[in-house]
Every structure is written in C-alpha cells, then in structure tokens.
C-alpha cells in the first residue's frame, strides 16, 4: 500500500482528500474534503468541507466544519 494511502486513510464513509497546512501537521488535525449522500455525520477537523451528492437545494449542497459542527453553506447569492 502506498505511503500516502497509509497516512491519509480515515474512518469515513466516503473517499476524501486530506489537506495539511504544514508538513508536520498531525493527520487528526488535517482538514478534509469529502462527498456523500445525506448530511455529514463524520467527526472531522475544523476547516473540512463536505459536498452532498443528493442535495435538493443549494442551501444543503455544501457544508463546512466550523466550531466542531457541520454548517450548511447557502449557495444562493
């Protein structure tokens, strides 16, 4: 298995990307970008982004992890 896979594998229901702000950042502190059906439920670090594949409106399509909670980002102007 590739080193990248070992370092970034997380217990989440969808495949995602980890984005480190500095090289020495711990994996547990690394913000992620993931996608899936339904509202996000995984406990991810603040700064993480989740795109909902079954969103019915722009208001429920993108979520950000802020203050240890998932917050829907309204996509309407």
What would the pLDDT profile of 31-59 be if each residue is shown by its tens digit? 888 899 999 999 989 999 999 999 998 88
Q: Are strands 69-73 and 62-66 parallel, antiparallel or unpaired?
A: antiparallel
| Claim: this prediction has a pTM higher than 0.75 | no
Which residue spans within the chain are E strands per DSSP?
16-19, 31-36, 49-52, 62-66, 69-73
Average pLDDT rounded to a whole number, residues 9-35:
67
């Amino acid at each position: 298995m590739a080193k990248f896979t070992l370092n970034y594998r997380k217990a989440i229901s969808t495949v995602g990307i980890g984005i480190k702000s500095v090289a020495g950042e711990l994996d547990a502190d690394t913000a992620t970008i993931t996608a899936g059906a339904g509202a996000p439920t995984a406990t991810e670090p603040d700064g993480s982004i989740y795109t909902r594949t079954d969103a019915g409106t722009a208001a429920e399509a993108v979520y950000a992890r802020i203050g240890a909670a998932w917050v829907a980002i309204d996509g309407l102007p």
